Chain A
Amino acid sequence: MILPLSLEAVAYGVGQKPIITPLSLELSAGASTILLGANGAGKSVLMRLMHGLLSPTAGRVVWHEPEAARQRRLQAMVFQRPVMLRRSALENVRYVLRAAGEDASDSRALQALDEVGLRHVASQPARALSGGEQQRLALARAWALHPEVLFLDEPSASLDPSATREIEALVQAFDAAGTKIIMATHNLGQARRLGDEVLFLHQGRLVERAPVEAFFTRPASPEAAAFIRGELPWV
């Protein structure tokens, strides 16, 4: 178990410009957590701090699991724009399995492709797949690793509605299989469909943390209320 994840007064800035102002929180297994906020609110940066792609300029990110290799092995991230290696869909999954030191057999990789409905394109070059298929392949790569925590950074931001629905169904399947979902989005409907709790960010500040229904029906902060009404100026 690498969870719970604790952020202890974590802050991040570039030069004199603060991107994330000091915040502390703890994320435990179970509930799906949605990072919500306008563009530039700091969702992606906060997620990268959690996932270890960025180092905080102050404070600490602490996983329950102290060993770095196991921390890394048990978390995965799906990016807004999937990075497809120049090889077949199947080989993309096998690469990830090999990198994790797992059994990288064809059968195991095919199983992961099955989970996302991509078995029929296993031998096709990953970069020739459609945007939706590429994102599903990114999910298959994550699925193959059975991570305890899955980070998703606006995974459907550049997809059409039907591809978005497929991605959402897969995220729900991950959730049902016991993976902790931590997802950034600015799509309110998606937050409601997939989330159990909301972390609302505004200009690098964690303004509100609430169960999803409470957040949408009774937002506690004026910023969140304005964001839900769609009045928040996009910064």
Chain B
Amino acid sequence: MLGALGELRLWEIVVLSLRVSLSAVALATIAGLPLGAALAVGRFPGRHAVVVVLNALMGLPPVVVGLAVYLLLSRAGPLGGLGLLFTPGAMVVAQTLLILPIIAALCRQSVEDAWREYDEQLRSLGVHGMRAAATVLWDIRFSLLTAVLAGLGRASAEVGAVMIVGGNIDGVTRVMTTTIALETSKGDLPLALGLGIVLVAIVLAINAAAYLVKEAAQRKYG
């Protein structure tokens, strides 16, 4: 169906997609888990409002995130000097912002539930502060992994944000989803379809991994 050249292009696109999405997941995890955990146990005025906003941000439309990042990174924007617009870096920034709320909100929920259960027992044992946090986070590590994989699923499947800030430049910022959109409109259905299959396979694999990890953990640790 595809020639050797087409296949090469296809894999370049797949690799770039994974690089962008995995980088975004890594950054969003580093920022999102502590943020979620702090929101779960912290008590400060306005906490409920922050939680509501965070939950709402889980459904952020990718095109809106793309637009916001575009405005930030465009020549005249506040971060225009970085020269990131229309590079993979800009796509990482956009996807990070897109999935940060997902990872943080899911983490907050898991930590809050576990904390409610463990709090008295740990205090009874004289376990406080960092040690208590470490105990709880370790015990819910598989739920946290699920949160991270949810972020990865979202990042690898979205098209709006990377299209706007990446510009869909051939060989530079063209990823699976943007290629599918472009090739479909151009009528090159084989390439679009091939990428579509790869994309669905990846998303399926991520979700299967999440499910299996959770199942195995349930059996092993209860």
- Taking beta carbons and an 8 Å cutoff, which residues of A are in contact with B? 48, 51-53, 69, 72-73, 76-77, 79, 83-87, 95-96, 99-100, 125-128
| Given A83-B121, A85-B135, A85-B139: A69 in contact with B126 (beta carbons within 8 A) | yes
| Interface contact B139-A53, CB-CB below 8 Å | no
Interface: B186 (CB within 8 A): no
CA distance A86 to B135 in the complex (A): 10
| CB under 8 Å from chain A, chain B span 180-222 | 217, 220-222
B123 contacts across to A, CB distance below 8 A = 52-53
B125 contacts across to A, CB distance below 8 A = 76, 96, 99-100
Q: Which single residue of chain A is at the shortest CB-CB distance from B121?
A: A83
B126 contacts across to A, CB distance below 8 A = 69, 72-73, 99-100
Query: What distance in Å separates the Cβ of A200 from its nearest Cβ neighbour in chain B?
Result: 25
The listed residue (A53, A126, A127) touching B124 by CB distance below 8 A is A53
| Given A85-B139, A86-B139: A77 in contact with B221 (beta carbons within 8 A) | no
- Taking beta carbons and an 8 Å cutoff, which residues of B are in contact with A? 117-118, 120-121, 123-127, 131, 135, 139-140, 217, 220-222
A-B contact sample (16 more), CB < 8 A, given A125-B220, A125-B221: A48-B120, A52-B123, A69-B126, A76-B125, A79-B120, A79-B121, A83-B120, A83-B121, A85-B135, A85-B139, A86-B139, A86-B140, A86-B217, A86-B222, A99-B131, A127-B221
Q: Which single residue of chain A is at the shortest CB-CB distance from B139?
A: A86
Query: What distance in Å separates the Cβ of A149 from its nearest Cβ neighbour in chain B?
Result: 12
Smallest CB-CB A-B distances: 9 pairs: A127-B222, A125-B222, A83-B121, A72-B126, A86-B221, A86-B139, A77-B124, A128-B222, A99-B125
Q: Which single residue of chain B is at the shortest CB-CB distance from A78?
A: B124
The listed residue (B117, B140, B221) touching A83 by CB distance below 8 A is B117
| Given A51-B124, A72-B126, A77-B124: A83 in contact with B222 (beta carbons within 8 A) | no
| Interface contact A84-B222, CB-CB below 8 Å | yes
CA distance A128 to B221 in the complex (A): 8
CA distance A87 to B125 in the complex (A): 17
A128 contacts across to B, CB distance below 8 A = 222
Number of A-B contacts (CB under 8 A): 43
Summarize B's interface: helix, strand, loop or mixed: helix
| Given A73-B126, A77-B124, A99-B127: A87 in contact with B117 (beta carbons within 8 A) | no
Q: Which single residue of chain B is at the shortest CB-CB distance from A83?
A: B121
CA distance A46 to B135 in the complex (A): 28
CA distance A95 to B140 in the complex (A): 16
Query: What distance in Å separates the Cβ of B116 from its nearest Cβ neighbour in chain A?
Result: 10
Query: What distance in Å separates the Cβ of B112 from its nearest Cβ neighbour in chain A?
Result: 15
Query: What distance in Å separates the Cβ of A93 from its nearest Cβ neighbour in chain B?
Result: 12
CA distance A125 to B140 in the complex (A): 14
A69 contacts across to B, CB distance below 8 A = 126
CA distance A69 to B128 in the complex (A): 12
CA distance A99 to B221 in the complex (A): 20
CA distance A48 to B123 in the complex (A): 11
CA distance A71 to B176 in the complex (A): 62
B139 contacts across to A, CB distance below 8 A = 85-87
B117 contacts across to A, CB distance below 8 A = 83
A76 contacts across to B, CB distance below 8 A = 124-125
Identify 22 residue pairs between A and B in the complex whose beta-carbon atoms are under 8 Å apart, listed by A's number: A48-B120, A51-B124, A52-B123, A53-B120, A53-B124, A69-B126, A72-B126, A77-B124, A79-B120, A83-B118, A83-B120, A84-B222, A85-B139, A86-B140, A86-B217, A86-B222, A87-B221, A96-B125, A99-B126, A99-B127, A100-B126, A125-B222
A72 contacts across to B, CB distance below 8 A = 126
A77 contacts across to B, CB distance below 8 A = 124
| Interface contact A126-B222, CB-CB below 8 Å | yes
Query: What distance in Å separates the Cβ of A218 from its nearest Cβ neighbour in chain B?
Result: 36
Query: What distance in Å separates the Cβ of A100 from its nearest Cβ neighbour in chain B?
Result: 7
Query: What distance in Å separates the Cβ of A19 from its nearest Cβ neighbour in chain B?
Result: 16
